[in-house]
Structure 1
Amino acid sequence: MRRRRRRAVTLGLALVLAATAGVLLARSGDRTSGPEPASRDRIAHGAGAGADEGPPSGYPSTGAGSFVVAGGESPVQGLDGPLARYRVAVEQGAGQDADAFAADVDAVLADPRSWIGSSELRVQRIAEAERADFTVYLATPVTSEAMCAEGGLSTDGYTSCRLPGKVIINLARWLEAVPDYGAPLAVYRAYVVNHEVGHEFGKGHEACPVPGGPAPVMQQQTYGLAGCLANAWPFLDGHRYVGDPLP
């Protein structure tokens, strides 16, 4: 009887030790399979305030803080008026090509529906800082937030912004647009360039004029359309399209 009891106790201890080892092994596996610190940083900062998820791991939330300027220059675009010269720069470590981003910006600003549609303004991309009136930056969420904060603007790492001489496009918005925008990514990209460059040209925010109609390009479409439909262009059918000015 005593031998049986000893065997039962020994067997019970062995089962307890095996279960404990299994728990420790599982916990160890959880630690090693979890996100690395850099991944957690992307999740914490990439999607902006109030978001449940960060950006996909295909691009970072922060970069080097330094920028590569696209080379060369574009033709002068527009029929008449003063010439606004701009540079295009992409943050190092953002995973984006400066020349490709410059080509996208050039295509937007050269479109007759963009700001040159007034026939009272011309634009040209150049590479030299000394000759440029402003620079269009593509920056990671953390870097764009810091750049905007230098001018007293709070973006929560989510929105783009404009400071005098600086148009700062948030990388996350450039790659993901915003939820429920209701239009392809290319439309949002054209909108965000025209909107922030519009600020550089002295334009303020505007309200949705007619629910169900196009949103003015100076409406803050990133925060919602307020009943309007997505629209990327300041000129529609050859005419400047506006809403009521907002304070």
Structure 2
Amino acid sequence: MRRRRRRTVLLGLVLLVAVVGAVALTPGGDPAPRPPSAGPGPMAYGADQRTEPTGYPRAGAGSFTAAAGESPVVGADGPLRRYRVAVERGTGQDVPAFAAAVDEVLADPRGWTAGGERRVQRVADAEVADFTIYLATPRTSELMCAEGGLSTEGYTSCRLPGKVIINLARWLEAVPDYGAPLEVYRAYVVNHEVGHEFGEGHEACPGPGRPAPVMQQQTYGLQGCVAYAWPWLAGQRYAGEIVP
């Protein structure tokens, strides 16, 4: 009986030590929260298949489908810049519809072809295109932008040489407190990133209540300006002071 009781006591002490050792204590004596699982290492394009509350995917396949066909040449004069449009697979977005939306923005008389400075045309052949406009999920756009040293945190769009990368979340949701319809933000984000491809830098809001220059970083806030999506206004190139 004594041996059995002694074994029982020893077994209980072993279990108690094991439990205490398994529970990390904070300095105040409360159990420390479990650290979140680190999960896998850096993911390849499209590896994260989580879905945002709005229903669009956070990550897609990481590969793209290019729009077929060509658009008419737009613009009266100037050098011709050919662009290609591509949509990430797995986004649920219609490739021809996105291409048509981009074409409409770049063909607008308030756009980058105003003033006879340049002409644009959409093409399907990557070898012919001067740059490609991508519609990519937040995760894929973040990884693509990071290849050029840009940190978007999966939130903003970006431009790298020859690549205009539109974040799917911004294309579908715009940004909080933008104060204009979604179509205005879409025109802005295309014109802003394409503007970088055309050599334009960032500009500042010229004053409270005035239209925001298209090269202002409107995604981060309007700074007192009102949303405006175009590089030309009332027949003139509209710009703010250059941001160093």
TM-score between both structures, scaled by the size of structure 2? 0.79
State the shift of 1:55 in Å. Answer: 4.2
Alignment RMSD: 1.3
Partner of 1:7: none
Distance 1:96 1:120 in 2: 32
Unaligned runs of 5+ in 1: 1-37, 43-53
Task: Please tell me whether the aligned partners of residues 55 and 172 of structure 1 are also in contact (alpha carbons under 8 angstroms).
Answer: no
Task: Please tell me whether the aligned partners of residues 113 and 120 of structure 2 are also in contact (alpha carbons under 8 angstroms).
Answer: yes
Task: Please tell me whether the aligned partners of residues 216 and 242 of structure 1 are also in contact (alpha carbons under 8 angstroms).
Answer: yes
State the shift of 1:120 in Å. Answer: 1.4
State the shift of 1:40 in Å. Answer: 8.8
User: Aligned residues, how many?
Assistant: 198
State the shift of 1:66 in Å. Answer: 0.2
Distance 1:105 1:41 in 2: 27
Correspondence 1:184-203 to 2 at 5 A: 184-203=181-200
Q: Does 1:121 align with 2:118?
A: yes
Which digits, 9 at most, give the CA deviation of each residue in 1:133-180, with x for residues without a partner? 000000000000000000000000000000000000000000000000
Runs of 4+ in 1 over 4 A off after TM superposition: none
Correspondence 1:1-247 to 2 at 5 A: 41-42=50-51, 54-57=52-55, 59-247=56-244
The amino acid across from 2:232 in the alignment is F
Distance 1:120 1:90 in 2: 28
Which digits, 9 at most, give the CA deviation of each residue in 1:167-217, with x for residues without a partner? 000000000000000000000000000000000000000000011000000
Q: Percent identity?
A: 76
Secondary structure at the counterpart of residue 229 of structure 2 = coil
Q: Which has the higher helix share?
A: 1
Secondary structure at the counterpart of residue 169 of structure 2 = helix
Secondary structure at the counterpart of residue 115 of structure 1 = coil
Partner of 2:15: none
Task: Please tell me whether the aligned partners of residues 191 and 232 of structure 1 are also in contact (alpha carbons under 8 angstroms).
Answer: yes
Task: Please tell me whether the aligned partners of residues 67 and 99 of structure 2 are also in contact (alpha carbons under 8 angstroms).
Answer: yes
